[in-house]
Structure 1
Amino acid sequence: MDNSHVNEEFRTQVQPALRSKLEEFRLLGIDSVSEQGFWEFLVKKKWKKVKHEMRLHEMIQDILSVRVSDYLNYVTIESYKTSEFSIDNAEELKELLK
């Protein structure tokens, strides 16, 4: 099965919109967003159910309409999914439960 997204071929064409949105994030104080990370957000969240090739203007509209809160929510949930949470120390557990 092909692991690339149906719109992967347009990535270079939408790079100016990606960069513009990342610059907007930086102006709002979110400096840790990479272009690759933002593209993964678009593929996994925004275009998750897209089965056909989108038109270029639809992709650009989606990119520019992303709100910072949408991206931050996605990153937070993804970090919860990938983190391993275990407390081996009983003292740490007691401290957390205070």
Structure 2
Amino acid sequence: MSQKDTHLFDSFRESVAPALKSKLEEFDLYGYDKVTEDELWNFLKNKTWKKVSEEKPIHQIVNDILTVKVGDYMNYVTVEAFKAPNWFEGEGKDVLEKLL
């Protein structure tokens, strides 16, 4: 499922916005101030709720948000970065060689 696909819990996003904001403030306290609400939401959709096939009560969704660990999020982001295309292959390689 791509990040642009509609997820089962997308309809709850506005309702759980205060929990997302609270978690982002916690990330900020740990020095991760560049994490956006969209990035956190995508982590939840693609990792925490990846195999969930039916709706959860809103209190469980809020619990899922508030129990995200910074380390789990950072591991996810690191793995996703390794899955991304290599910018230094193909056309990117030509650009890099011209710069050097």
TM-score by length of 2: 0.81
Letter in 2 for 1:43: K
* C-alpha distance in 2 between matches for 1:74 and 1:83: 16
**Is it true that 1:26 corresponds to 2:28 in the alignment?**
yes
* C-alpha distance in 1 between matches for 2:56 and 2:16: 12
* C-alpha distance in 2 between matches for 1:83 and 1:45: 20
Letter in 1 for 2:61: M
RMSD: 1.4
* C-alpha distance in 1 between matches for 2:85 and 2:74: 16
How far 1:31 moved relative to its partner?
A: 1.1
- List structure 1 segments (4+ residues) > 6 angstroms apart after TM superposition: none
Tell me the alpha carbon deviations over residues 60-80 of structure 1, each in whole angstroms, 9 at most, x when there is no partner: 000000000000000000000
1:55 aligned residue (54, 57, 60): 57
How far 1:52 moved relative to its partner?
A: 0.5
How far 1:83 moved relative to its partner?
A: 3.5
Q: Which residue of 2 aligns with 1:92?
A: none
The correspondence of residues 17-96 of structure 1 with structure 2, limited to 5 A, is 17-84=19-86, 86=89
Q: Which residue of 2 aligns with 1:14?
A: 16
* C-alpha distance in 2 between matches for 1:83 and 1:63: 29
Unpaired runs of 5+ in structure 2?
A: 94-100
Letter in 1 for 2:59: H
TM-score by length of 1: 0.83
